[in-house]
């Protein structure tokens, strides 16, 4: 866990909320919820050490492994 990155992302998220606050208030509830959920996901992801965390591409690699082996054998 790298606190420096986390706090940087928190500051960026804060700036985004401040910047969008006036316009976001006028949008319907669904838009506001999506906006905040996406920001929460972004904040949560920055807590992890992303380059060393198994992610979507690890999943894709295991799904396409037979094809990958085929490509490497060419």
Positive or negative, the CA dihedral 24, 29, 33, 35 is negative
**Chain-centre distance for alpha carbon 5:** 13
What is the closest distance, in whole angstroms, from the C-beta atom of residue 23 to another protein in the complex? 7
- Contact between residue 68 and residue 61 where contact means Cβ atoms under 8 Å apart: yes
What is the closest distance, in whole angstroms, from the C-beta atom of residue 38 to another protein in the complex? 4
**Nearer to another protein among residue 1 and residue 74 (C-beta):** 74
Q: Which residues bind another protein (CB under 8 A)?
A: 9, 12-13, 16, 19-20, 23-24, 27-28, 30-32, 34-35, 38-39, 41-42, 45-46, 50-53, 55-57, 60-61, 64-65, 67-68, 71-72, 74
Residue 35 corresponds to which tokens in the numbers above?
A: 């906006």
What is the closest distance, in whole angstroms, from the C-beta atom of residue 1 to another protein in the complex? 14
Question: For the chain, how far is it from start to end, CA to CA, in angstroms?
Answer: 40
């Amino acid at each position: 866990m790298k606190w420096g990155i986390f706090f940087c992302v928190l500051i960026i998220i804060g700036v985004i909320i401040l910047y969008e606050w006036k316009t976001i208030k006028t949008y319907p509830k669904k838009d506001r919820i999506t906006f905040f959920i996406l920001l929460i996901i972004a904040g949560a992801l920055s807590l992890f050490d992303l380059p060393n965390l198994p992610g979507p591409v690890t999943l894709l690699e295991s799904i396409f492994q037979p094809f990958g082996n085929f490509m490497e054998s060419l």
